[in-house]
Structure 1
Amino acid sequence: MKLTWALLVVCATAVCWHSAATAAQSNIKLELPAIETSQYHRPYVAVWVENAQQQPVKLIALWVEKPDWLKDLRRFWRKIGRSNTALVDAVSGATQKPGSYTLQWDAKDDSGAALSAGRYTLFVEAAREQGGRSLVKHEFNLPAQGAVIDIAAEGELGAVKATIR
């Protein structure tokens, strides 16, 4: 009987911890617009966070096809791409077609440690072969407690909306 109660308490604690961890997820919704052109190539997209000293702390997403074109994501390339190939390999995924996408971020850095309180900047950069390049950014503070970031559509990027927790 004691073992059953202990197991029940452990399970209930795990469920509460999982719910709290899930609730702490930040959502970043970004749109890739449909661009009418004779030769459309899916854009390369990078989403990351930098600290107040403009040092990258978290690479959230990277959508690429061939590494040769990463240099077209200019800020991303200077800050992360050329110096941290292991991280690029670990995070990169396939390019995406036009549409709406939601990314999750747990307010942790690339090593899995929680970010300390302070000022940070969310960056979203997109570049398209035979197309344009767009870079949008928005500052926010941690702890954020549900801060909402709205960035208007620009060039290769549609609207970006983030809820930072």
Structure 2
Amino acid sequence: MALATALALSTFLVPAQAADKLNIALELPKPEHGPYHRPYVAVWIEDAKEQPVKLIELWREKPDWIKDLRRFWRKTGRSDQALVDARTGATKGPGKYQLSWSGDDNAGKAVAAGQYLLVVEAAREHGGRNLVKQAFNWDGSAVEIQVKAGSEIGAIQLSKGAK
């Protein structure tokens, strides 16, 4: 009976846990002209005062060029090398990528309900730069936001079910 109860409870817990995650669908486009170099990309969350809360992803090749992600460099890159090293992955080519944020900060603590910003910054050698900031509420309500594509960052979709 205890196993059946545990299984029944886990069935109810899974949807609630899934609703507590902000899903981020991010696309990197391939330019139609010129040489292609994979972009450096940083994805992070800021609070309503535009202070960094959580570094979700950082895709880079060589450390010297991370300064081309100007906002990221000013906010986090130059001051928290350990965090940058811990979250860095290889650059990615054109395609669609799925990321998520579970509502925690860089220390692993749950954030308070309120308004936050998803920030995505991309810079590409012999290419351009894009900075996208999208506000969203982290308060238990559902989120469905489409963000328009730019030259270095394709369409972004944010989604989260209600608690």
Of 105, 111, 123, the residue aligned with 1:127 is 123
Q: Give the Cα separation in 1 of the matches to 2:65 and 2:10.
A: 44
Aligned to 2:41: 45
Aligned to 1:104: 100
How many residue pairs end up in the alignment?
A: 161
Structure 1 segment 1-165 matched on structure 2, within 5 A: 5-165=1-161
Q: TM-score with structure 1 length normalisation?
A: 0.89
Could you tell me the percent identity over the aligned residues?
Answer: 54
Distance 1:91 1:50, change over 3 A: same
For 2:68, give the aligned amino acid.
Answer: D
Gaps of 5+ in 1: none
SS in 1 for 2:152: coil
8 Å CA contact 2:146, 2:156 repeated in 1: yes
Gaps of 5+ in 2: none
Q: In the TM superposition, what is the alpha-carbon distance from 1:6 to its structure 2 partner? A: 3.2
8 Å CA contact 2:20, 2:140 repeated in 1: no
For 1:55, give the aligned amino acid.
Answer: Q
SS in 1 for 2:31: coil
Q: Give the Cα separation in 2 of the matches to 1:80 and 1:120.
A: 17
Q: Give the Cα separation in 1 of the matches to 2:114 and 2:24.
A: 19
Point out 4+ residue stretches in structure 1 off by more than 4 angstroms.
none
Q: In the TM superposition, what is the alpha-carbon distance from 1:137 to its structure 2 partner? A: 0.6
Q: TM-score with structure 2 length normalisation?
A: 0.90
8 Å CA contact 2:19, 2:160 repeated in 1: no
For 2:117, give the aligned amino acid.
Answer: T
Instruction: Report Cα offsets for 1:10-59 as digits up to 9, x if no partner.
Output: 45434543443234221101111111344211001111110112110011
